[in-house]
Each structure stands twice: as structure tokens, then as C-alpha cells.
Amino acid sequence: MNSYSTASAPTRRTFLKGVAALAGAGVVDQISARAANPQHRLKLGFDNFAVRDMKWNAVQLIEYGAKLKVDSIFITDFGPFEKRDDASLGEIRKRAEDQGMQIQLGSWSICPTAKSFRKDWGTAEEHLRLGLRMAKALGSPVFRVILGNGDDRKSAGGIEARIEDTVAVCRACRNQSLDSGVKIAVENHAGDMQARELVTLIEAAGRDYVGANLDSGNACWTMEDPLRNLEILGPYVLTTSLRDSMIWEYEKGVAVQWTAMGEGIVDFKSFFEHFIRVCPNAPVHIETISGFTRRLALFENEFWTHWPKMEARDLARFMALAKKGKAIPEFRAPNPQAGQEYQKGEIERSIAYCKNTLGLGRRM
């Protein structure tokens, strides 16, 4: 057994007692009393990757956010910004604020030895420094980055070596992060790190300037129940990229297909009951990436070569979800326009579900 910092899952009783104790400070039970005060709800927004096929620039994303009446827009790559100087970014910031929205910023790998690392923005440190500067100009309190993906577990030294390399880059930029007031939010991304491994990275780099971008869909790719992933990462969460998932068993293991919110198997009512206790200031960004299936060959011995520290209790919770799920069809867009409409449909249904069923978002 490894020793990691974890957060205990609350019971319904302890959750409600906590809400009652905090009622005077303005924290309400969003699930049971959604209508109490919209300004006390979790902020709701979307990740621009959800509508990636639209190829919208920042202004168009703001206009779409205004249409959806969201509180936050998570732009997780530099592409939508046609100009990256502080003055131009400041204009984008003001445009979003005039619509009642905040922009949060992200980009890709800052691990120089990751298989997905690209030198589009210079070295890993140069990339991170650029992102921190841009985030400050945009008014974003975070800059989202990733380590890599599941293939990095198979690289020399395994995921532990890639974590060390990422920590070194973060440490090199610590002073800029602290001076700018922008924290580095590392995502559990595409099967690279389980929650405990991301905690290890954050603690090694320093919690004073590094935290987590929680991705509930990616948790399923590392055999984690999204609620369990939140229980471990919750105290470290700065921001989010969330989606629902359908999980089911197949002959070689477990299959995962990401879905629109409310159309998978994740218990998001329990999820957000815990969320509001441990990370109430983190916005809820929906990042729907639906239509395809990832298969995890858990029943084959060689699969576990790259997961030597998987905890039995966490795997048991994941398998319990899989036993409740069912296979669902994939989606193949017959043409680009159909793909665009599919993506917009996924995110719009998800935002509506979050508002109307889960009681999230401050703008109705």
C-alpha cells in the first residue's frame, strides 16, 4: 500500500450537517434547494474542446457562451487567440466580462519527455511561461496543462519518471506563477495518471502554486470511479473538465464511452454533493467528447504491466460501475456539418441538464 493524501467520502447525513453549519456563510445545498440563491451555486461553463470542430476564435466562443448563459469559458489551447499580446488579450477579457463570464486558459503538455510533447511554443518551460503570462492578461486564475497520455506509462522509467520531469518544469516557473497570481492546474489526462499519481506530482511541485484540473471522463480511462477520483483529488482541484461516461464489461475487460451529462452511468448528484464541500470555488466546465469507445483489456495479464500500483478497492468500485452499465452505439459523422451539429447537441444538452437537474450555474 502507498501512502497518499486522500479525502473521505461524505455520507448524506454529514453533508447536510455541513451545509447547515455553513448556511450563514452562504453555502447551500444545490441539489436539494437549487432555487435558494443562484449566486451561491457552482459556476458553470464549457471547455472549448467540446465544440472543437467549429474552429471558433475567442470572440465566437464568448458569443456562444452568452447564448448558453454560462459563467465561465475554458479555452484549453492557444488556437482561438489570433493575437497573444497582453493588450489584445485584455480586450478579450473585457468582452467576456461584459457578458458576465470569466475566461480560464489552458494548453497541452509541459513534460519535455512525454510522447505528446510538441515544441510549438518552444521548450517546456517557455511554453509554461507563455501560458502563465497569457492567463494573467486574460484574468484567468489558472493555467491548465497536461503531462501526456496513457502511452507515457509505457515509456522508459514509466509514469513516475514523467512525473519527475513535469515537476522540474513546474519548479522552474514557480516564481512566475506566484508573482502572476496564476496557478498551474495539471490535468489527469487521457490515461496518463490516476488520482493518487497526480497528487504525488502536485505535492512534489508545491501546493502553493500547483493544483489539479479534474477530468471525470479521463478518470474512467485509468479505471477509477469518477466519484472516487474526486474524493482523492478534491482538496487539490482548481478547475475542471467534466463529462459523463457509460461503462460496461466486454469479453476482454471493460469498455468506456464518454457521453453527454446525464446520459451515462456516473452518479453526478452524489458527485456534486461532495464537490461543493471540498472545492466550492472551482468552476464546473463541461467537456463533452462523445461517440467513440475505448476498450481496456483488464482481463489480460499483460495489461497490468503498466499499472503496478492499482489499488484493489479502487478497481472494485470501477468494476461495480461497469456491471451496472450497458453497451451503447458509437457515432460516426457522415460529413463535417453533421459532426459540428453533434458536438453542439452534446454540449447544449449537458448544460441544460446541469442547470435544470443538478442545479448548477448562476445564470438561468
In order of 85, 137, 317, the CA distances from 124 in angstroms are: 20, 20, 36
Domain that holds residue 175: 28-244+266-290+332-356
pLDDT value at 363 more than 70: yes
Whose CA is closest to 286, among 302, 254, 263, 320? 263
Residues 51/342, Cβ–Cβ less than 8 Å = no
Residue 170 resides in a domain: yes
Residue 16 resides in a domain: no
**pLDDT tens digits for range 285-333:** 999 999 999 999 999 999 999 999 999 999 999 999 999 999 999 999 9
Residue 19 resides in a domain: no
| pTM reported for the whole predicted model | 0.90
Q: Please count the CA atoms within 13 angstroms of the CA of 303 that sit on its side-chain side.
A: 15
Burial of 218 (0-12, 13-18, 19+ CB in 10 A): buried
Coil vs helix vs strand at 110: coil
Residue 303 resides in a domain: no
**pLDDT tens digits for range 58-89:** 999 999 999 999 999 999 999 999 999 999 99
Q: How far is 303 from 296, CA to CA, in rounded Å?
A: 8
Residue 194 resides in a domain: yes
Number of domains in the chain: 1
Q: The CATH number of the domain where 222 resides is what? A: 3.20.20.150
Q: What is the pLDDT of residue 29?
A: 53
Residue 258 resides in a domain: no
Percent of the chain with pLDDT over 70: 90
What's the chain's average pLDDT? 91
Residue 260 resides in a domain: no
Kind of pairing between the strands at 284-286 and 44-47: parallel
**pLDDT tens digits for range 122-177:** 999 999 999 999 999 999 999 999 999 999 999 999 999 999 999 999 999 999 99
Residue 127 resides in a domain: yes
pLDDT value at 20 more than 50: no
Set of cell numbers at residue 294: 475505448
